[in-house]
Structures are given as C-alpha cells and as structure tokens.
C-alpha cells in the first residue's frame, strides 16, 4: 500500500494521532508521510486514518 497526503490537508492532526508511525506534521504545518510505502502491519490503521480524515486528504492505493 502507498499513501500520500494531498494539498487539501487542514492540519487537524487526526492522522498523526491515529498512526504516528506513518504520519507526521511537516515544517509547513500540514501532515506528511514518513514513507510513501506502508508496512503491511500498518495498512489497517492507515486506512482508518484515511477514512476519518475530515477533508479526505489522505490518498491510499
């Protein structure tokens, strides 16, 4: 699974609190990913973060 945070991010931090092993807050204040490739054991929680993002800024595939 790959993950990306798009420009719609509003910096709410929900993804970071849901999965800090994958998401972080960038210097610009928006969410970013530590690595685009998600380890298999974190796929479910990354999908949960994507599903709960209030602006659907997390793209998984």
Collapsed DSSP state (helix, strand, coil) of residue 21: coil
Q: How confident is the model at residue 48 (pLDDT cuts 50, 70, 90)?
A: very high
| CB neighbours of residue 45 within 10 Å | 16
pLDDT of 51: 98
Q: What is the average pLDDT score of the chain?
A: 97
Domain ranges of the chain: 3-60
Across residues 37-56, what is the average pLDDT? 98
Burial environment of residue 53 by CB neighbours within 10 A (0 to 12, 13 to 18, 19 or more): buried
Q: Torsions phi, psi of 16, nearest 5?
A: -65, -40
Q: pTM of the predicted model, to two decimals?
A: 0.92
| CB neighbours of residue 40 within 10 Å | 7
User: Any idea which fold 3-60 has?
Assistant: Alpha-Beta Plaits (3.30.70)
Across residues 1-24, what is the average pLDDT? 97
């Amino acid at each position: 699974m790959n993950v990306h945070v798009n420009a719609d991010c509003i910096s709410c931090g929900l993804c970071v609190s849901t999965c800090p092993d994958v998401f972080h807050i960038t210097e610009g204040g928006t969410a970013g990913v530590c690595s685009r490739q998600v380890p298999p054991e974190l796929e479910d929680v990354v999908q949960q973060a994507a599903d709960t993002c209030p602006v659907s800024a997390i793209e998984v595939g």
